[in-house]
Structure 1
Amino acid sequence: MDLRAQTFTLEGVAASLLLLVAVYTMFQSTVVIAPSWSDYANIQLKQLGYDILRVLDNSNGGNSSLIGMIENTTCSGGYLYTPPEFSSNLTKILDDIKAFGKLEILWVNGSKIEKAVLSDFNKTSTPDAVRVSRFVVVPELNNTCLGINTTKPKVLEVRLTLWRT
């Protein structure tokens, strides 16, 4: 009987058991974090918001574009309103994705930041709402409702807050 062959066999079995114990220990000590379902929905809604603003930022869109909406925002009774074309398009998009929205315009006026909330889309958001924004450069702007009158290019931020119930 060859004792060396038995030793090699025992050595191989011991090595494989040692590897199995090491792999088992490694997998037991690893923490796997999976996002919860609500986190996934918020990420998806945020991406949809960026896509909405990207689609609406069309320089050839007239009143349906972000620039057209900013240039043609009207006021009545102390409330600001988007042009009907823009309001209709954004409402259809929000209805299609089964979401609610709040639309704000922000800009710098001297040393302070001005903010206008558009009444068409001024609902109270839920705690799990997401906010997306897009910067828009308007070549020249004369909108008395927003209080902006300039012949120089103006940078404005359009914020869209989205949520689902």
Structure 2
Amino acid sequence: MVDDRGQLYTIEGFAAAIIMVFTVLLVLGSTTVYTPGDSHISDLQLEQLGHDVLWTMSVPPAPDAPSPLQQDIGGYQPAAFNASFMNGINNKTGSEIDTLQYSASVTCRDAGNNIIQTPFISSRNLTGGEHAVRVTEWVLVKQTCPPFEVGPETPHAMLVEVLLWRE
């Protein structure tokens, strides 16, 4: 004599397995929700890009030569800094150019040991609605604080601070 109850349990098991596989595929195929808690990831990527560009500008072309960043900051050449920095932050592998903007300033100590922060150059002024990240790099120069006159022969440090945001 054959028991038919086993066939019913087998069919029920296959149906449950199909429903579970379909549910897993539906969950894995759903779109990812971008929550406000994940916004720090794009900030970190933007900050890393700014650090990389400033670092590459800090590398001298020859062992005893000044770096492009030292020349731009020490020689007070905002146009040269703008060209190098904008080229670094807005380059992409495709044909499109990125829309990153920045505002750079230089901080140093004068002869009276006072801290002076001087705006250096901006690609566009901040309006207050942008979400900017801060990127810094120390530069050794032979110039004094503003007005950037040639100072003592021993190099001293100036802090280049860049606020970077996506337009």
Q: Determine if the TM-score, normalized by the shorter chain, exceeds 0.5.
A: yes
Q: What is the match of residue 161 of structure 1?
A: 163
C-alpha separation in 1, matches of 2:108 and 2:146: 14
Letter in 2 for 1:55: T
C-alpha separation in 2, matches of 1:150 and 1:162: 32
Per-residue deviation, 1:85? 3.4
Aligned pair 1:91/2:91, yes or no?
no
Match of residue 71, structure 1, among 65, 70, 74: 74
Per-residue deviation, 1:155? 0.7
Does structure 2 retain, via aligned residues, the 8 Å contact 1:102–1:121?
yes
Q: What is the match of residue 133 of structure 2?
A: 130
C-alpha separation in 1, matches of 2:86 and 2:164: 12
More strand by share: 1
* DSSP-derived class of the 1:43 partner: helix
Q: What is the match of residue 102 of structure 2?
A: 101
Does structure 1 retain, via aligned residues, the 8 Å contact 2:103–2:163?
yes
Per-residue deviation, 1:148? 5.9
Q: Deviations over 1:16-72 (max 9, x none)?
A: xxxxxxxxxxxxxxxxxx873321111111111111110110223879711001122
| Matched-pair identity in % | 21
Count of aligned residue pairs for this structure pair: 123
Distance 1:85 1:63, change over 3 A: farther
Structure 1 portions without partners, runs of 5+:
1-33, 75-81
* DSSP-derived class of the 1:39 partner: helix
Cα root mean square deviation, aligned: 2.8
**41-50 vs 110-119, which deviates more?**
110-119
Q: What is the match of residue 29 of structure 1?
A: none
Q: What is the match of residue 153 of structure 2?
A: 151
Pairing of 1:7-156 with structure 2 (within 5 A): 36-60=37-61, 65-73=68-76, 82=78, 84-96=79-91, 97-109=98-110, 110-121=112-123, 123-124=125-126, 126-138=129-141, 140-141=142-143, 145-146=147-148, 149-156=151-158
Letter in 2 for 1:145: P
Per-residue deviation, 1:86? 2.9
C-alpha separation in 1, matches of 2:144 and 2:40: 41
Q: Deviations over 1:105-127 (max 9, x none)?
A: 11112321111112344621645
Does structure 2 retain, via aligned residues, the 8 Å contact 1:134–1:157?
yes
* DSSP-derived class of the 1:132 partner: strand
C-alpha separation in 2, matches of 1:69 and 1:58: 13
C-alpha separation in 1, matches of 2:120 and 2:114: 20
Does structure 2 retain, via aligned residues, the 8 Å contact 1:102–1:160?
yes
Letter in 2 for 1:43: L
